Structure 1
Amino acid sequence: MLRFMPVGDSMTIGSAGDHTWRYRLWRHLCTAYDGPFTLVGPRETLHDPSTDAPTSYAYADPAFPRAHLAGWGEGWQHMVPLIGDVVRSCRADVLLVSLGLIDLGFYTNAEQTADNVRAFVAAARSANPRVAVAVLPVLPNIRVAADTTFAEQVAHFNDLLAKTAADLDEPRSPLLLVPPPASYDFHTDTYDGTHPNETGEHRIAAAFAEAMWQEWDLGGPYEA
């Protein structure tokens, strides 16, 4: 069985009432992947806005493997100390990673964040030398329109991420830079300028799905 683990921040964990892009990708793989698979991770909940804590099970459709490693307000630097043990305990084969917005917004600059990407990959590989990693660049949010410095850091980190992915990619443990969805627009694909709405969920899921299909011959074309 192929074991996918979504790793991310608030855009990945989702909020009470969401489907999440994790759900959208799972639905896609149910028809596109010819083999047994599941989603794994140490967490299952959504973020609950009423308590500001990851305590909600109120998925729009809870009938899917909800496991993940994602957290509201968490970034690369938060995941580096966790990823090795989690990959080992959950026996993850493929990591689907969407991180960086929180790091750049509150914790680390582009260079420091790229260093954390390298540490994350090293820790994951120490637990599973054949782990595959698909990484989505930071998708611009509403803050880039108002904060020039932040916008520059996002663009710079995404350039560094592309170089890091090329440097660290290897045959036995591929590191795939996922092309961001070309049509993604935080004005129309989020409900608050950052967090994906239904169309945003589909676009993020499609980005991972199409990249894995085209680069790894895994799955097939995404159909919403």
Structure 2
Amino acid sequence: MPASPRHALRSLAAPAALCAALTGVLAAPAPASAAPTTPAPAPAAAEATRIMPLGDSITGSPGCWRALLWNDLQEAGRTSIDFVGTQGPQGCGVDHDGDNEGHPGLLATNVARQGLLVGWLQATDPDVVLMHFGTNDVWSSVPTATILDAYSTLVGQMRAANPDMRIAVAQIIRMDSARSCATCAQSVANLNAAIPAWAAEQSTDRSPVVVADQWTGFDTDTDTYDGVHPNAAGDRKIADTWLPVIDGLLDTAA
């Protein structure tokens, strides 16, 4: 029997309602997704601490204690360091960062008076200075007090370049009077005896000045090749003495 018109209308209305419902579902806006997050920036790599070895021919030409010291620091885990200076590597047969500020023949008093360090500091921007200076001053009969005045001038120049400069000053290695000057051995002893008190007066919490005792235990017969400059054994002793001093200075970094 054919469907009644009323029944037919009901049958047509059901699919239409289902279609409208589906259309509403499809047209409904999608739920808002979570806002994208910005990745946290990676922590900046720590800048290497810049260390200037400063002095005369005992520091340069070739100053192979620097090569030993560099590798000692690497082996001790002090890898975020950079030796700096306007003078480049001078051999030594060991891979190392050879930049330095060792100038053969120079006197600390002349460097201070002529302001030479100012330019070297501007060129290299060190955080730490290792200073073994005064051998040529002693050889030139410059009085201890005058050398210490020069040291004070150099420290002032370092702090003008970097108020947070960390400074290590060596009691310089021994000199053999028979192979240098007649008064050299005693003059070195006099200078070295005065350095600790001078350093204590100069040191501040912000810019410490510490002493490296390169004099005690150094033997001009076994540790130099000419009574003044270190041989391989002397280089080893110098590096060994610098290492704990630098460790202490690196640990004072902010």
Q: TM-score per shorter chain, which class?
A: 0.7 to 0.9
Distance 1:72 1:217, change over 3 A: closer
Aligned residue for 1:154, secondary structure, equals: helix
Structure 2, unmatched stretches of 5+, are 1-47
Q: Contact conserved, 1:144 with 1:150, CA < 8 A, in 2?
A: no
Q: Deviations over 1:156-177 (max 9, x none)?
A: 2222222210100111111011
CA distance 1:90–1:217, change in 2 (3 Å): closer
RMSD over aligned Cα, in angstroms? 2.1
Q: Aligned AA for 2:121?
A: V
**What residue in structure 2 maps to residue 42 of structure 1?**
86
Matched, 1:71 2:103: yes
Query: Comparing 176-185 with 121-130, which one deviates more in the overlay?
Result: 176-185
Deviation at 1:65, TM superposition (A): 1.6
Give the drift of 1:2.
0.6
Q: Name the structure 1 match of 2:6.
A: none
**1:19-168 matched pairs, under 5 angstroms:** 20-44=64-88, 46=90, 59-61=91-93, 63-80=95-112, 81-106=115-140, 108-143=142-177, 149-168=183-202
Aligned ranges 1:179-194 → 2 under 5 Å: 179-180=213-214, 182-194=216-228
Could you state the TM-score of these two structures normalised by the residue count of structure 1? 0.82
Which structure has the larger Rg?
Answer: 2
Distance (whole Å) between structure 1 residues aligned to residue 127 and residue 219 of structure 2? 31
Checking the alignment, whether the CA contact within 8 Å between 1:144 and 1:151 is kept in structure 2 is no
Deviation at 1:146, TM superposition (A): 7.9
Contact 1:9–1:75 (Cα < 8 Å) also in 2 = yes
Runs of 4+ in 1 over 6 A off after TM superposition: none
> CA 1:32–1:78 in structure 2 vs 1: closer, same or farther (change >3 Å)?
farther
Q: Residue type of the partner of 1:66?
A: G
1:95-115: per-residue Cα shift (whole Å, max 9, x none)?
111111101111621111111
Q: Which has the higher contact order (CA 8 A, sep 6+)?
A: 1
Structure-2 change in CA distance of 1:149 and 1:29 (3 Å)? same
Aligned counterparts of 2:206 and 2:180: Cα–Cα separation in 1: 42
> Alpha carbons of 1:181 and 1:115: their partners in 2 closer, same or farther (altered >3 Å)?
closer
2:223 partner SS: coil
CA distance in 2, matches of 1:22, 1:146: 24
